[in-house]
Structures are given as C-alpha cells and as structure tokens.
C-alpha cells in the first residue's frame, strides 16, 4: 500500500505527541505502511507555521473544513480540545476519511454515539487515543490475564493522580471549563483508567461515585499558553471552575470483579501517576506509568521462600513492540506509547479492519463516565445499562 496521508488538527501537546509518532514510525517500524505528514491545521497562522516547520509537516491549513475536504488526505487526526471532536469527526466521516480522535471521545455519551454512528455509516476506520494501553508493560499485563496466569480476577484498583492545579491561582484553562472539556479530572484522567480497566478486566456493570471541585473560582487566562504549565496572573478577574477537580468511584464488573477508581488533579507530588493493581486467584500485577517500563508481578505458585512481587522490565523480545526499539534494558517512555498506537492505526488501515480501541470503546468509556456522574447526582448505584 502507498503512504497513508495524514491531516492533523491541533498542534499543541497532543499534536506534538502524534507528530513525533508519525516521524518515528518509518525509522523504528519500517515494515508498517508509512504515515505521510501531509497537512497540519490550527487557527493561529503564526503558531501553526512554527509547528509545521518544527514538527515537519508538508503544508498547513487554518480552516479545518478545508483540511477535511482535501483530496490528498486519507486520515483526519483530531487532537483539538474536546468540544471540537464531534463536528470534525462527523465531517471527516462524511468526507470518507479515516479518523483518529483523542480522548475523551466527546463531551457526552450522546455525542460519542453520533460520532460512532457517522463513522460506521461511512465505513471508515476509527480509533480513539487511549495511548497507555500501548506501553509494553501494559501489553504484558493483558497477556498474563488472557493466558489465565492470574486466575480469576477479583480486584481492579486504578488511580490517575496529578497535581498541576493545586495552586488556587492557576488560571482557568480550557481543561477546567465544562463546555469545552466535558468534565475535569473524571473525563481527562478517569477516562484513561476506565479504558485500562475495560482493556484488562472487562465491561463495567454498575458504579457509584463522588466528586469535588476544591477551587471553585480561578483567575481568567491572560497568557497565550493554556496548557498544563500555564502561569497564574493574580491581577486577572476570576471565573467559575465548572468541572470536577477529583472524582472517585466504586464499580462492579460483569465478570464479578470489584473495582475502585480515583482521578484527581489535587494529589501533591504526583505528576502523572497513572497506576493500577489487579488481584486474581493465582497472582497479582501492579503498574505505575511513572515507571512505564516495569510490571510488578506476583505468582501464588512460586516456592514459599521466594514468594513476593518481582519487577519485570518489559524491554525484551518477549514484550510487545520492544524489539523495534533498543536492545533489552534500554528503556522507552511516554512518547513511545503514541508511536505504538499509531502503528496499530496504520496497520488496521492497511489491513482493512477496525483498529482497537475504536469509537465503540470511546462510547463505552463515555457511558461509564456518565453513569458515575448520574450516581453522584442521584446519590445511588447506577447500572451502565441505564444509559445505553
């Protein structure tokens, strides 16, 4: 197959991560159909041109509608803020383009279903950006569970902890506004944990949660940088924070396992602690993204005198994707998870099949997010089936 021509919308944090993935692929995954970095799109012409030349895109568009209509684009890669996902994805599907969309798929469940329907109707390939699935250590976790080496799964304990908004003077960036982001820690971080739980343990049956917005007003953003490292301007007028700072919930899975999930941006000292522990009848595993190359593994049938958690460094030929990078023990990082997800996307397009996770997974994740919100509002357990 000839190159797969990409048109990417958004050029900030995720735009950089995706661009890096496309660039790394021909060098480290030479057997995968090449992504061609055909066009990058954003509204600010100067910022866009800087990104275009820095990241290595061939051309630029300031209007996403023009990008979507271009004949020389096969894939629309959406990493604009969440409120833009639905309109762009539906237009891309109508134009017959394959779609990659960052998480959370949409602002709410109804929108995510519309996106899935549009993509299915158009018969295009679609993928959602749950990149943490593609850490080799997480792939190992999946393999151990699939092979039955942990036995029957009893517990999933997952948390995603960050601390970038603990300062009450941190400005009201888009991630703190419900109309743009959909939700706060819940949709931004909890979505990753929900996806991880679905990937490793299976479907959710019912949930009950609680959430809090610790800082209810923040200075409006005056600077042009509105990312995780935005600077406070104490003189700026304040605006209302309309999303959760932290959301925690309990869950029952369809296979009988019990889950607890926590997402917060108020955990001092935790910069990106995306972590889980799974306990089964034959063993346990533990993962912490800040040690992305490692999986802690415990097997109950080890001899008693050497029983204990062992650290498996998932960088050997036995581990997913590892052979494409460096010799064993030469570790990889955050950006590699995006390269792996794009490898999966390119392979799926070349082989004419749907990639995983796709928009259907995005919808399921959105249903769990919304069931938790409903449980908080109504102060009761909510079955996922109530929303679907």
The contact pattern for ligand SOE, residues 243-282, with x = CB under 6 A and - = no contact, is -----------------------------x----------
Q: Which two tokens stand for residue 352?
A: 């004419």
Residue 221 · residue 230 · CB < 8 Å = yes
What is the 3-state composition of the chain as percent helix, strand, coil, each rounded to the nearest 5?
40, 25, 35
Kindly tell me which of 210 and 228 has the beta carbon lying closer to ligand SOE.
228
Minimum CB separation of residue 188 from ligand SOE in Å reads 5
Of the pair 5, 18, the CB lying nearest ligand SOE is at 18
3-class DSSP state of 20? helix
Nearer to ligand SOE by Cβ, of 29 and 160: the residue is: 160
The answer to whether 336 and 321 are in contact (CB under 8 A) is yes
**Contacting residues for 252 by C-beta, under 8 A, at least 6 apart:** 204, 205, 206, 207, 258, 259
Which residue of this chain has its Cβ atom nearest to ligand SOE in the complex? 188
Q: Applying CB under 6 A, does 232 fall inside the site for ligand SOE?
A: no
Q: Which stretch binds ligand SOE (CB under 6 A): 148-156, 188-196, 200-208, 211-219?
A: 188-196
Binding window for ligand SOE (CB under 6 A); candidates: 59-67, 187-195, 209-217, 291-299: 187-195
Positive or negative, the CA dihedral 38, 41, 45, 48 is negative
Q: Which is nearer to ligand SOE, 92 or 292 (CB)?
A: 292
Which residue from 84, 228, 236, 387 is in contact with ligand SOE, where contact means CB under 6 A?
228
- d(CA 264, CA 187) in angstroms, rounded, equals 11
Contact criterion met (CB below 8 Å) for 69 and 96 = no
Nearer CB in complex with ligand SOE: 11/253: 11
* Whole-angstrom Cα Rg for the chain: 21
- For ligand SOE, the binding residues in 78-137 under the rule CB under 6 A are none
CA atoms of 226 and 44, how far apart (whole Å): 14
* Residue 233 C-beta: closest distance to ligand SOE, Å: 21
Q: How far apart are CA 239 and CA 220, in angstroms?
A: 6
- The residue assigned the tokens 């998932």 is 314
In the bound state with ligand SOE, the residue whose beta carbon lies nearer, of 297 and 332, is 332
Decide: 370 and 383 in contact? Cβ < 8 Å.
Answer: no
Q: How far is the CB of 228 from ligand SOE (least distance, A)?
A: 6
- Could you give the 3-state DSSP secondary structure of residue 295? strand
- The residue range among 176-184, 186-194, 290-298, 324-332 that interacts with ligand SOE, by the rule CB under 6 A, is 186-194
DSSP for 333-359 reads -HHHHHHHHHHHHHHHHHTTS--SS-H
258/272 with CB nearer ligand SOE: 272
Which of 188, 206, 262, 294 lies at the binding interface for ligand SOE (CB under 6 A)?
188
185 vs 285 by CB, closer to ligand SOE: 185
* Residue from 19, 20, 33, 162 in contact with ligand SOE (CB under 6 A): 162
Q: Which residues form the interface with ligand SOE (CB under 6 A)?
A: 162, 188-189, 192, 228, 272
């Amino acid at each position: 197959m000839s190159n797969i021509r990409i048109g990417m919308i958004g050029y900030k944090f995720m735009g950089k991560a995706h661009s890096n993935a496309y660039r790394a692929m021909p060098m480290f995954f030479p057997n995968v159909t090449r992504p061609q970095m055909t066009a990058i799109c954003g509204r600010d012409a100067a910022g866009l041109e800087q990104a275009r030349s820095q990241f290595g895109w061939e051309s630029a568009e300031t209007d996403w509608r023009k990008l979507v209509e271009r004949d020389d684009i096969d894939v629309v890669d959406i990493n604009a803020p969440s409120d833009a996902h639905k309109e762009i994805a539906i237009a891309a599907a109508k134009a017959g383009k394959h779609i990659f969309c960052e998480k959370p798929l949409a602002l709410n469940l109804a929108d995510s279903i519309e996106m899935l329907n549009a993509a299915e109707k158009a018969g295009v390939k679609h993928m959602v950006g749950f990149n943490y699935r593609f850490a080799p250590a997480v792939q190992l976790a999946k393999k151990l569970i699939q092979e039955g080496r942990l036995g029957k799964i009893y517990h999933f304990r997952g948390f995603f902890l960050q601390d970038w908004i603990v300062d009450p003077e941190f400005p009201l960036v888009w991630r703190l506004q419900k109309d743009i982001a959909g939700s706060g820690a819940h949709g931004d971080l909890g979505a990753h944990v929900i996806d991880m739980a679905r990937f490793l343990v299976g479907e959710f049956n019912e949930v009950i949660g609680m959430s809090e917005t610790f800082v209810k007003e923040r200075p409006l953003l005056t600077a042009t940088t509105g990312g995780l490292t935005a600077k406070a301007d104490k003189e700026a007028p304040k605006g209302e924070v309309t999303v959760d700072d932290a959301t925690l919930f309990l869950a029952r899975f369809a296979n009988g396992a019990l889950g607890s999930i926590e997402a917060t941006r108020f955990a001092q000292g935790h910069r990106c602690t995306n972590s889980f522990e799974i306990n089964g009848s034959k063993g346990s595993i533990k993962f912490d993204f800040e040690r992305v190359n490692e999986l802690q593994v415990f097997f109950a049938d080890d001899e008693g005198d050497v029983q204990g958690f062992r650290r498996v460094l998932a960088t050997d030929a036995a581990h997913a994707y590892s052979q494409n990078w460096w010799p064993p023990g030469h570790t990889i990082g955050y950006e590699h998870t995006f390269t792996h997800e794009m490898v999966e996307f390119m392979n799926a397009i070349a082989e004419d099949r749907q990639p995983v996770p796709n928009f259907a997974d995005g919808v399921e994740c959105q249903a769990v997010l919304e069931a938790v919100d409903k449980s908080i509002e109504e102060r009761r357990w909510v079955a996922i089936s109530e929303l679907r």
